[in-house]
Chains A and B, each alone.
Chain A
Amino acid sequence: MQTAVISRWALAALILSIPILSPMLMHAQSVSGSARAVQATVVTPLGLSTSTLADTGTLSSPTDARDASQPSGAVDSLVTAETLHATTIGSTDQVASEASVAGLTVAIAGTSVNAGFAQARATTGNKGVRSATIHDLTINGVPVDASGAANQTIAIPGGTIVINEQTGNVVNALHIIIDGVADVVIASAHANAQ
C-alpha cells in the first residue's frame, strides 16, 4: 500500500516535471567549435611540419567562449600577417566561430598571395552563416576578384587556391595548396551543433 502511494506520487511528480524538463532536453545539444587565423603545413625531410597562429583550440562545453589574438605573426618565410584573431563561442543550441587576418603575405614555391584582409565566419542554427570576406586579394601581383561564392577555385603553378572554402562545418577564407610542398589555410572557422 505504502509503495503504491509513493509510486503514484512519483508518477505525478514526473508528469509535472515533463514541461519543465522538456526544454532542457530539447536544448541538450552537442556543440563543437574552433577557429584559427593561420595554419601552415610544410613538407620537410623529416615529414610534415604544422604551425598555427592565433588558434582558439576547441570549445570545451556550451558555456565556453575562447579567443586568441596577436598583433602580428609569421610562419618562417612562408606566411606573415597582422592583427590576427580567432574566436569561438558556444551556446546551448548554437556555435559561432570567426577568424581574421590583415596585411597577409604568403610566399610558397615562387607563388605569392597577398590580401589586405581575410575573414571566415561560421555559425550553426537554421539561420547559420558560412561566409568569407576578402579584400584586396592578389596572386603573383594580379588582382583577383573574390566572388563570394563558396569554393571559388583558382589554379596556380603546382597547385590551387580555394577562396571561401566550405567543407562540412568549416569555412576557410583562403586555402593555398602547392602539391608536395605546402598546405596553408588562412582564417579558418569551425562550428557544429547536433
Chain B
Amino acid sequence: MRTITAAAFACAIAVSLVALTTERTLIAHPAPCDFLTGGGFIMTTGGNTHAVAKGTFAIGGGCKHGTPTWGHLEYHDHGNDLNAHWLTITAYLAEGDGLGDTSFDPKTKQPTGTRLVCGTARTNLYGDVDFMVRAHDHGEPGTEDQFDIRLAQSGVVVYTTEREGMHTLNDGNGGGGNIQLHKPNPSTDGQLGGDCPARAAAF
C-alpha cells in the first residue's frame, strides 16, 4: 500500500511540475513562427525598366508543422508581361531576422509586421529564379500594407520593384489589396528561417 501511495503522490507531483514548466516555457518563449497571406496589386516600373503599370500578386508564407516552407507566390508585371509562378518556398523570415517589428492590431487581435518569403519560381522572361518577397501588414484596412519583390539568378538580381521604394497598397490610389499576418497556430512550432539566396543577391 505504501508503495502505491508513494507512486500516486509522485505521479501527482510530476503532473503538476510538468504543467508548471510547460506554462513557464510558453510564457518565456511564445511560438516564434506564424503565417502571412495576401493578394493585391502595386503600381511599378519594374525597377525603372518600363512605364508605370500594375504588378498583381498573391503571396503566402509561414511555418506548417515546424517547417518554414509553407506558402506560394504568383506575380504578374503588366508593364513587361513578366509572370512568376512559385516552385518552392525555402524560407520565411522576419525582416531583420528578428521579431522586433512585430506588433499587434487591436482591431483584429492579429499581429502586424514584416515578413520575407523566399523560394524559387519559374518565369517567362528569365527562366527559373530565386525570389524574395517583402510583405508588410500594417493592420486594417490594409491601405498601408506593403509588397515588394526581387528575382535573382546565380546571385544577381534580374528584376526588382525595390528601387522605387516600398510599394504601399493604398486603396487603389497606386495599389490595392490586403496583406494579413496571422497569429501562430498549433503547427507553427518551428522557427522562422530557411535559405534565401535572393536576399544576398548582388544588384
A contact set with B: CB distance below 8 Å: 1-2, 5-6, 9-10, 12-13, 16-17, 19-20, 62-65, 67-72, 82-85, 87, 89-92, 94, 96, 98, 100-103, 116-117, 119, 121, 123, 125-127, 129, 133, 135-136
Assembled-state Cα–Cα distance A19/B84 (Å): 51
Interface segment, one of B44-52, B71-79, B95-103, B150-158:
B71-79
Assembled-state Cα–Cα distance A80/B193 (Å): 36
Of the candidates A13, A90, A127, the one whose C-beta lies within 8 Å of that of B107 is A127
Residues on A with C-beta less than 8 A from B178 are 119, 121, 133
Whether A117 lies near B12 (C-beta < 8 A) is no
5 A-B pairs with least C-beta separation: A100-B39, A85-B58, A9-B8, A102-B56, A20-B19
Residues on B with C-beta less than 8 A from A84 are 58, 74
Whether A103 lies near B56 (C-beta < 8 A) is yes
Interface segment, one of B126-134, B159-167, B180-188, B195-203:
B180-188
Chain A nearest Cβ from B168, distance in angstroms: 14
Whether A125 lies near B109 (C-beta < 8 A) is yes
Question: Given that A71-B85, A89-B35, A127-B108 are contacting pairs, would A135 and B172 also be in contact in the complex, using a CB cutoff of 8 Å?
Answer: yes
B contact set with A: CB distance below 8 Å: 1, 4-5, 8-9, 11-12, 15-16, 19, 35, 37-41, 54, 56-60, 62, 64-65, 70-76, 83-86, 107-110, 140, 142, 172, 176-178, 180, 182-187
Q: Is the interface of A mostly helix, strand, loop or mixed?
A: strand
Q: Is the interface of B mostly helix, strand, loop or mixed?
A: strand
Whether A2 lies near B4 (C-beta < 8 A) is yes
Question: Given that A63-B65, A65-B35, A71-B83 are contacting pairs, would A83 and B185 also be in contact in the complex, using a CB cutoff of 8 Å?
Answer: no
9 contacts between A and B (CB under 8 A): A65-B62, A71-B76, A83-B56, A89-B182, A96-B182, A98-B180, A117-B41, A117-B56, A127-B110
Residue of B nearest to A128 (CB): B108
Residue of B nearest to A71 (CB): B85
- The interface centre, meaning the residue of B39, B109, B180, B186 with most chain A CB atoms within 10 A of its CB, is B39
Whether A65 lies near B64 (C-beta < 8 A) is yes
Question: Given that A90-B185, A117-B39 are contacting pairs, would A133 and B16 also be in contact in the complex, using a CB cutoff of 8 Å?
Answer: no
